[in-house]
Structure 1
Amino acid sequence: MVTAGSSRWSRRFVVLSAGFLVLWRAVALLGAPRRTEVVLALFGFVFHMVFGMGYLLIPSYFERVLRASWPPGVHLGLTGGGTALLAVASIRELPAAVERAGTLAWFLGVVVFLGTLLWTVRDNLTGRETGTGAGREEFERVDRYANPFVPVALGYVLVGSYELLARATVLPGITDGYVPRVSHLLAAGGAVLLVFALGVRLAPRFLGVPAPTRPVRVVLPAGALAPALLAHGLGGGPTLVAGALAEATAVVGFAGLYGLSFARSDRRSVGLVGVLAGVASGVAGVSLGLSFAFGPVTAERAAVHLELNLLGFLGLCIVGFAMQFFPPSAGRFRGATDAVAWLAIGALLGGLTSVAVGTLAGIAALATVGDALALAGAVVYGYLVVRLLAAVDSR
C-alpha cells in the first residue's frame, strides 16, 4: 500500500510516461535517430510507467506500506530530467558533459527508487508475505512464487543503469559498455521481467480467473535468466542462442498464460484487449529476435524487432493495464468514453502493424502512415490519462 502523497506521485509518473510516449512517436514520424527513439521510448515512456506503478504496487504486493512522501518527487525530477538530457544529447553533437549529466541524473533517480522500495520491504525481501486477501488461496500460490522475481528485475535495473553511467564516465564497467547490452539489461531484464512478475498477479485479478501455476513456474525463471544470457551473448554464439530461446520461452509462455485466462474470462474491457494485443506483439517480437540468433541481422529487421517489443509488447501492455487502473469512462470530460479508448488502442496497434509491414517490405509510405497512426493513438491515450488523473488530483 502507499500513502496519499505517494499515490499522487505515482500518478504523476504515469502522466509523464504518457507525455514521453507522445514525444517518442512524434520524433519517430519526423525521422529522428534510432538512439533518440530508444531513449524516449525505454527511459521515458516505459520506465516512468514502471516507476509509477512500482511505487503503487510493489509495497502492497509485499504486504508493506510505502510511507515515504518525498523520495518519489526527487526521483521524478532526476529521471525525468536525465531522460530529457540523454534525448537531447542523442540528437545533436553537444559537449560530453551533457550526456554525463543525463546518465548521472538517471542513475541517482534509480538509486532513490530502489532504495525507497527496498527499505519499505526490507523485512520481506523474498515476498513470503504477499498481501493476498483472505479466501483467495487459489491466487496466493502464484503470488508467493512471483514475488522473489521482483527484486531480480530491480537488480537488472540497477546493473543496467550503472552500466549506462560507467559508459559515460571513468567508472569501471561490468561489461564492455556496448549499448545493446545495456538496453537488454534494462528492457528485457528490468521492464519485461517486471511485466511478468507483476502481470501474473495483476492479470488474474482483472480477468477474474486464477492463473495456471505450471506456466508461471516456467515463465518467470526463463524471463529472469534470459536477459543476462542475451546481454553476454550479443554478437553471436551459444550464449546468444540460449538467451534467445529462454526469452522466447518466457514471452510465449506469458502470452499463452494470458491468452488462456482471457479465453476463460467473460470480461472484455478495452484495457484487457490492449494487453492481449501486447502479448501477441511480444510473440512476434521474440520470434524475430530468435531468428537473429540463428541467422543474419539486417537494419530493417532490427528496427521492426525494436518496434514490436517497445511499442508492441511493452507499449500495448502498459497502455492496456493503465486503462484498467484508470478507466477513461470514469472521467467526466469530453471524450471520456470506452469508444475513444478503443480508438487509442486501435490506432497504436494499426500504427505498429503498418510500421512493421512497411519497414520489412521496403514501403516507406506505409511505414510513415504507421508512424502517424501511432502518434494519433499516443495523443488520444495521453489526453485520456492526463484529463482523468488531473481530475483525480484535484479532488
Structure 2
Amino acid sequence: MSDPRVTRWARRLVAVGVLFFLAVHLAVAADLGRRPVVVLGLYGFVLHVLFGKAYALVPAYFDRDLALPWAPALQFPLSVVGTAGLVLVSAMPASVTTVGRVCWALGVVVFLGSLGWTLRTNLTGRETGTGGANTHRRGVDRVANAVVPVALMYLAAGAVAVTLPALGRQWLLPAQVSHLLGAGAAALFVFGVGFRLFPRFLVAEPPRPLVWLVLPAGAVAPALLAIGLFDRRLLLVGGILEALAVVGFAAAYVVMFRRSDRRRVGFYAVLAAVGYGVVGVGLALATVLNGRDPQLVRAHYRTMLLGFLGMTVIGATFQFYPPTVGRSRLSTDRIAAVTIGLLVVGLGGQLLGILSESPPLVFGGEATGVVGAGLYCWLLGAAFRRR
C-alpha cells in the first residue's frame, strides 16, 4: 500500500505539471520564443508529471517501497520555484535566475536521492515485482527496468549543466541540456516505463525484437545528441539511433494497439504521440542533413515536445485519472476525445504553417492548441478535485 504522503504530493506534482501544459501553449501563442517554450514544456509539464508518476511507479516496478516518503513534499516547492526561475532567465536579474537554477537542481537532488536510496539494492532492476498473470512479462520488465537508472543519470547530468551557470561556469549550451533532459531523461523514461505500462493497459504484448532495439538505442542516442550537437558526424549517428528508438517504440505501440480489444480514450492520445514522434525524428534528420534551417528546428522541437512527449503524457494521465471521474458535465470521454483532437489538429496546423511559412495557419494551430490545453486542464482538475 502506498504511503498517503507519497500519493498526495505525487499527485500535486502531476497537477502543477498540467498547469504548465496550459502555460506552454499560451507561451507558444504569445510567441515568447524557443527558450520559455522549452522550459515550460519540458521542465514544467513533462518533467513534473514524470517526477510525480516516478514516485508512484518506479519503486513498485523494482519491487521496493519508496524509502523516503517525505521526498515528494520536499521536492514540490523546489521544482516549481526552480522552473519559474528558469522561465525568467532572460527577463530578471541574475540573482533571481540563480535562485531558479539552484532550486530546480535541489529538487532533482531530492528526487534522485530518494529513488537512488530506494533502488540501491536492485539497481539493475532484476527484481521486478512481476508475478501471477504477468509472469510471462518478466523478461521484458527486466530489460525495461535496466534503462530507468540510465534515464536518471541523464537527469543528473542535466541538473549539473543547469546549475553550473549559477557558479559562473558553463558546461553545455541550453540546446544540449534540452537533449539530455528531453531525449535522455524524459524519452528514455517513456521507453522504459512504457514497455511496462502499455502492455498492461492494452493487455497485449510488444514484439520482443523491437524492445531489444528501442531500449539500447534510446539509452545511447541522447549522449551523442547532446555532446555532438555541433559535430555533424556524431549528431547524425545520435539522430539515427534516436530515430530507431522512436520509430521502434511507435511500431511496438501500434502492434499492441492493433492486438488489443481495449479502446480507451487515452490510448488514442498515445497513438497520436508515436505518430508525431516519427515525424519529429524525421525533421531532426532533415535538420542534420540540410543544415540548421530555423524553420526545421522550430518544427522539430515543437513536434517532439508537444507531440511525442506531450501527447504520451496526456494519454497516460487520462488512463491514471479517467475523465469520467470528475463531477463536471464536461467530464466525459467524448470531451476527452475532443481535447485530444484539438491538440493533435492544433499541432498539425502549427507544423504545416511553420514549414510552409504561413503565419495564419500557425496562428490557427496555436489557438486551437490553447483551447485543447484548457480543456485538458479542466478535465484533470475535475478528476483531482474528486479524488
Q: Same fold (TM over 0.5)?
A: yes
Show the counterpart of 2:94: 96
Cα offsets for 1:77-123 (capped at 9, x unmatched): 00100111111223x2x211111111100000000001011111211
Rounded Cα–Cα distance in structure 2 between residues aligned with 1:292 and 1:364: 21
CA contact (8 A) 1:2 1:59 kept: no
**Match in the other structure for 2:341:** 346
Secondary structure of residue in 2 paired with 1:101: helix
Amino acid at match of 2:221: A
What TM-score, normalized to structure 1? 0.96
Per-residue CA distance 1:114-165 (angstroms, 9 max, x = gap):
1011111211111111011323222111001111100000000010111111
2:123 aligns with: 125
Q: Is the 8 A contact 1:141 1:213 kept in 2?
A: no
Q: 1: CA distance between counterparts of 2:304 and 2:361?
A: 20
> Residue type of the partner of 1:141?
G
* Conserved 8 A contact 2:328-2:382: yes
Contact 2:342 2:369 survives alignment (8 Å) = yes
Pairs within 5 Å for 1:31-70 = 31-70=31-70
2:107 corresponding residue in structure 1: 109
| 1:67-82 equivalence runs, <5 A | 67-82=67-82
Displacement, 1:294? Answer: 1.7
Letter in 1 for 2:68: A
Deviates more, 1:330-339 or 1:103-112: 330-339
Identity %, equivalent residues: 44
2:67/2:114 contact within 8 Å kept: no
SS at match of 1:192: helix
**Can you give the 5+ residue segments of structure 1 that lack an aligned partner in the other structure?**
none
- Equivalent in the alignment of 1:204: 199
Instruction: Judge which range, 161-170 or 249-258, deviates more.
Output: 161-170
Deviation at 1:359, TM superposition (A): 0.8
Deviation sequence 1:285-331 (CA, Å, 0-9, x none): 00110122222121111111011100000000000010011111123
- Tell me if 1:357 matches 2:326: no
2:325–2:386 contact (8 Å) kept in structure 1: no
Out of 255-264 and 382-391, give the one that drifted further.
382-391
Residues 195-222 of structure 1: CA deviation (Å, up to 9, x unaligned): 0000011110011012221111110000
Give distance in 1, aligned partners of 2:36 and 2:133.
48
**Aligned twin of 2:181:** 186
* Matched residue, 1:382: 377
Instruction: Quote the offset at 1:69 in angstroms.
Output: 3.1
Is contact 1:2–1:55 with CA below 8 Å preserved after alignment?
Answer: no
The answer to whether the Cα contact below 8 Å between 2:25 and 2:373 also exists between their aligned partners in 1 is yes
Instruction: In structure 1, give the amino acid aligned to 2:328.
Output: F
Pick which of 252-261 and 203-212 moved more: 203-212
Most deviating of 372-381 and 27-36: 27-36
Q: CA deviation at 1:361?
A: 0.6
Instruction: Confirm whether residue 366 of structure 1 aligns to residue 361 of structure 2.
Output: yes
Matched, 1:304 2:302: no
Q: Verify the 8 A CA contact 1:230 1:243 in the aligned structure 2.
A: yes
- Number of equivalences: 387
Which segment drifts farther, 263-272 or 188-197?
263-272
Instruction: Kindly indicate whether the alpha-carbon contact (under 8 Å) linking 2:217 and 2:244 is maintained by their aligned counterparts in 1.
Output: yes
Counterpart of 1:244 (choices 236, 239, 248) is: 239
Contact map agreement 1:277 1:349 (CA 8 A) in 2? yes
Cα root mean square deviation, aligned: 1.2
Q: Distance in 1 between matches of 2:367 and 2:167?
A: 37
- 1:286 counterpart letter in structure 2: V
Distance 2:365 2:341 in 1: 12
**Alpha-carbon distance in 1 for matches of 2:52, 2:290:** 38
- Greater CA drift, 105-114 or 332-341: 332-341
- Contact kept? 1:328, 1:336, Cα under 8 Å: yes
Q: Is the 8 A contact 1:86 1:98 kept in 2?
A: no
